[in-house]
Amino acid sequence: MKGKVYLVGAGPGDPELLTLKALRLLQSAEAVLHDDLVAPEILRLIPSTAQIHNVGKRCGKKKILQGEINYLMVALAASGLRVVRLKGGDPLIFGRAGEEIETLRRNNIPFEIVPGVTSAMGAAAAAQIPLTHRRTSSALVLITAHKASEKDAAEKDASDWSKFVASGATLVIYMPGQNYSDIAKRLTAAGLAGETPCAVISRATTRHQRTHSTTVLDLHRSPQLAAPTLLVIGEVVRLADPAALVEGFVMSDAAKANDGLRPPALFKTFFSQAPRLGTDKEPVA
């Protein structure tokens, strides 16, 4: 009898941003394949009886190939296990969920997608940056800074950046790396004014969060903040909380008392008060 795979978003870092459905699935999982960026506090919610596989691919260092992840996911589910594929942020935003969905469909493995708070939303909330604003930005674009290797693809990428800039949208660049000079050149070439404000947000929503405020013109002078980082660009950055930009993420008093960590017991106690929240749906065809 086949098991089932759940593509689950773990959120941007703060374990309290985990959804109740994600929590329920983790606590009943028989196998978990997780990314590197999933918070340790969330991993501690996994039952001791479950198989746990770290399948993270971070900063260009691949412990495992995507094809191997796909094979492992299918093999575990085909053996009848309830498998959670746990991804940082939201599984459908730069999380390679599309490739995994295709694999599951080809192998007739039932699956379900459980959304999570994507990093852009978590980072913006922590820094109090409204990603849209009716007087400054009515659109939001999520992109990556990775260049395509092929010339035609690279030219299309440059064209897309010009369209994004012309739209007046807030831009959030995932995985910007540390080459801010290159990003600044691409933004300038796309027509973005040098005085446009930017914010580099490192380790969003965790006790290690740091945020650096700058402009496109001075982006190349940005400090090398710890990965993972996000780059938010647009007039909405002027509305950020000044304290957040200087001091980084401010944890709650309760979290500070526990050194910024939320114990699994907190989640289990809360969840036990509402054990019937969320129900399984029919497998996705």
Q: Where in the sequence numbering do the catalytic residues fall?
A: 35, 57
Tokens of 236: 């909405």
Q: Which segments within 93-227 are labelled E, that is strand? A: 111-114, 140-144, 170-174, 197-202, 210-215
Tokens of 122: 């978590």
Tokens of 243: 């304290």
Using only C-alpha atoms, the chain has a radius of gyration, in whole angstroms, of 20
Query: Rounded distance, CA 69 to CA 73, Å?
Result: 6
Query: How big is the CA angle at 17 (ends 16 and 23), to the nearest 5 degrees?
Result: 80
Residue type, 274: A
Complete DSSP assignment for 38-89: S-HHHHTTS-TTSEEEE--EETTEESS-HHHHHHHHHHHHHTT-EEEEEESB
Q: Which residues contact 16 (CB under 8 A, 6 or more apart)?
A: 262
